Structure 1
Amino acid sequence: MKISTRQLPGALRKGLSSLYVLYGPETLLALEAADRIRDAARADGYTEREVFFAEPGCDWNRLGASASNLSLFSTKRLFEIRIPTGKPGVEGAKALTAWAGKQIPDTMTMVMLPEIDWQQAKSVWFTALEGAGVGVEAKAVTREELPEWLAERLALGKQRGSAEVLEGLADRVEGNLLAAKQEVEKLALLLPEGEITLEAIGEAVTDVSRFERDALIDAIHAQDGARMARVLQSLEAEGEPLPLLLWQLCDELRTLMTVAAGQRPRRYLTPDRQARVAKTARRHDAASFARELLRAHRIDRMMKGVETGDPWGNMLEMALGLSGRPVLAKEAA
């Protein structure tokens, strides 16, 4: 069974599973989910807790020994298996697969993983764990989902904001969910209950937005020109290496060009990415993406000093073009 962290509270109210597997890119949501599971376990009489850290080079035989020892105790226990790398190795994979098949009386297991890729998700050990219990995915909160997420958090402090307020708050905390949580908690302390204003947010909330390189690709697919400019400005200020950013953008361009030409991309795309790529590819033809790859070549020459020009400015032009602005618009027949 697989659920999201948003669905976890409802699932816990219906009853506890003997095994939970937490994974996903959003650390804050994974940590909060783990706390919810611990609280539910404690309320159900699981008063003891044991933690197994699966660090590189660890002895996985200890896991089997722990299973034998746990079955000797009458006290209900929560057993946590933490795998910080998400890669248990050959011996670890065998141990986890065996663990998934065990029925240990009065024991609840919680396996904690970071974000996993599609190959790990299809591995024998992971499918065995998820099949024996409940997989809880801590999905990243997208920019489009962030205002709703902030509204839910504000409601916990009996505060609310208009769509404009929520968008303004999202601009200040995007890409940094832990800081977003802290800023919302600060608003609950500094401002009274009820409606909050943009002016109040401007005075109370620090701009803690932080962007990864993926944020630019997301903004391109969302056709959000203002956000693209903000992302690029932030990445430049943070010292993000432009060659890496250009490489990532070219990789996306090649994928878009392939899909626009009616061919299958050479690399694996998750269902969400497939949908976004297909939508963007429909807005242009393969020749348009090919032209932007030539522009990328010019930007590369600018970075190397072979050609004059502002590489960051040209990156912005390219991104705006990919978003559907006239820079990349199809020429009229």
Structure 2
Amino acid sequence: MQLAAGQLAQHLSRGLRGLYTLHGDEPLLIQEAADTIRAAARAAGFTERTAHTVAGAHFDWSEVLAAGGSLSLFADKQIVEIRIPTGKPGKDGSAAIQQLCEQGQGNDDLLTLVILPRLDKATRSGAWFGALERHGVSIAIEPIERSALPQWLAQRLAQQDQRVKPGVEGQRSLQFFADRVEGNLLAAHQEIQKLA
């Protein structure tokens, strides 16, 4: 199931699925989406989290598969987080991801979160990514277009109960802000936090 990033909160309010895949090149938006999923999972009783970062072709996928199959003495439900910074899990990883997707079916005590960079069409058509989309929710995190950045900044300010002046003066302020951060959402977020 594919979902737009803006629909995530509404989707989570209706209940969690067992598998989420986030992919895109906006670190801030990926982090916020992952945090939103983790918060919903904590509220649903997921108390344990294991994180795995796939580093190179010699990554031991058995650790990931074992993590999905075992719980600690103190946790009823767990989150297994898999980061693949290259977006290429390799042959062993492809098989492991497909196996993990199958294992997670019907297991309400396991939530798997896979985080990937922006993927090209060839990668998205791979068997492992197809399994992620078939068995879970796939969320493509799209970059904020330069023309939409002032509006994005205004929304972020509004989340902090801050407003710019209405009219042309406010639009100029937002445009100035957008020009200074040059499309870097993380820098924009940090500057907005300073204004709080």
Q: TM-score, normalised by structure 1?
A: 0.54
Please identify which structure carries the higher helix content: 1
Q: Structure 2 CA distance, aligned partners of 1:127 and 1:72? A: 34
Instruction: Give the % identical residues.
Output: 47
The correspondence of residues 15-164 of structure 1 with structure 2, limited to 5 A, is 15-56=15-56, 57-70=58-71, 75-102=76-103, 103=105, 104-161=107-164, 162-164=170-172
The gaps in structure 1 that reach 5 residues or longer are 189-333
Do the aligned residues in 1 keep the contact of 2:23 with 2:119 (CA within 8 Å)? yes
Is contact 1:74-1:106 (8 Å) kept? no
Q: Which residue of 2 aligns with 1:226?
A: none
Alpha-carbon distance between aligned partners in 2 of 1:163 and 1:17, rounded to the nearest angstrom = 40
Using the size of structure 2 for normalisation, the TM-score is 0.89
Partner residue, 1:7: 7
* 1:160/1:62 CA distance change after superposition, 3 Å: same
SS in 1 for 2:175: helix
CA RMSD in angstroms, aligned pairs only: 1.8
TM-superposed CA distance for 1:85, in Å, is 1.3
Show structure 2 runs of 5+ residues with no match. 165-169
Secondary structure of the corresponding residue to residue 159 of structure 1 = coil
Task: Please give the alpha-carbon distance, in whole angstroms, between the structure 2 residues aligned to 1:67 and 1:46.
Answer: 13
Paired residue total: 188
> Which 4+ residue blocks in structure 1 deviate beyond 6 angstroms?
71-74
The one-letter amino acid paired with 2:93 is G
Pair 1:65–1:180, CA change in 2 (3 A): same
Is the Cα–Cα contact under 8 Å of residues 5 and 30 in structure 1 kept in the other structure? no
Separation in 2, partners of 1:74, 1:37: 18
Give the number of the structure with larger relative contact order, counting CA–CA contacts within 8 Å between residues 6 or more apart. Answer: 2
- Corresponding residue number in structure 1 for 2:176: 168
Q: Per-residue deviation at 1:151?
A: 0.7
Contact 1:48 1:78 in 2 (8 A): yes
Read off the aligned partner of 2:192 and give its amino acid letter: V
Q: Which amino acid aligns with 1:95?
A: A
Distance 1:157 1:63, change over 3 A: closer
Q: Which structure has the larger Rg over C-alpha atoms?
A: 1
The separation in 2 between residues aligned to 1:52 and 1:134, in whole angstroms, is 19
Match of 2:167 in 1: none
Deviation at 1:115, TM superposition (A): 1.5
